[in-house]
Amino acid sequence: MTKIGFILGTVFSLTLLAGSAGAHFGMVIPSDNMVMPSDPRSVSVTLSFSHPFELVGMEMEKPEAFFVVANGQNTDLRGNLEQTTTMGHTAWKTDYPLKRPGIYVFVMEPEPYWEPAEDSFIVHYTKAVVTAFGDDDGWDREIGLKTEIVPLSKPFGLYAGNVFQGIVKLNGKAVPHGEVEVEYYNQNREAAAPTDYMITQTIKADKNGVFTYAAPRAGWWGFAALNTADYKLDYQGQKKDVELGAVLWVKFEEWK
């Protein structure tokens, strides 16, 4: 092989790997998503920005906003966050008491993350839903974020293999034919992808913004619907695009 051929082959291989490796995901992971009367009356919630399948973390500044929506109220939790470490990088956590039955939606808006490889900023509006003490009304509530995934299936009480559906929204409107990236949180390093192409799976929503996915394995799965913002942010004197991610984390249970 000529020197030029070797260089071109190396560049091609690196490009292939970069294009098929795991995606970025904002992560909001509660210690429990279905709290029963006999369970502890609080949950621990961890926030990070990571490649969840490969367990590769990234540094995360304290979020711009972090709150919980429950019983018709929004409660600011940003001041409760404590710095921690996830996947070897800065992350954030808090414990939240569950005082009443109901649906608790934890929502994070991070500081914009500059990604040199994409020449753009990344902002992932990230949600996770916890149901407590037998009351599950309101699991499909739209929070009103800049972009979000509104569940059409309950985002809890799912077995591995069940179908999950959601609708992608941007500025309150459904996004037709939008791409949704799906990735497994490989917490125990038990899962292995046959190839890099299968670390992150990509599906498309239909004309009404609705996507469908059947998780093949129990555990936490992240759904990230990506769109380009209608504004730009400054980076070293230049205006750069902003990737807006609507991220929802859903846990599937093992069928026994």
* Domain boundary assignment for the chain: 24-253
Please state which of the ranges 20-24, 52-56, 57-61, 187-191 shows the lowest mean pLDDT. Answer: 20-24
For residues 165-185, give the mean pLDDT: 97
**What confidence score (pLDDT) does residue 256 get?**
87
**Which comes out higher in pLDDT, residue 38 or 10?**
38
What confidence score (pLDDT) does residue 184 get?
Answer: 98
- pLDDT above 80: residue 5: no
Q: At the top level of CATH, which class does the domain 24-253 belong to? A: mainly beta
- Average pLDDT for the chain: 91
Structure pTM?
0.90
Reported as a single tens digit per residue, the pLDDT across 142-153 is: 999 999 999 999
Q: What is the pLDDT of residue 49?
A: 97
pLDDT class for 22, splitting at 50, 70, 90? low
Q: Which of 29, 43, 20 is nearest to 87 (CA)?
A: 29
Do the beta carbons of residue 225 and residue 178 sit within 8 Å? yes
CA atoms within 13 A on the CB side of 73: 5
Tell me what the mean pLDDT of segment 71-93 comes to.
Answer: 96
Burial of 31 (0-12, 13-18, 19+ CB in 10 A): middle
Residues 6+ apart with CB under 8 A from 127: 28, 105, 106, 107, 108, 143, 145, 148, 149, 247, 248, 249
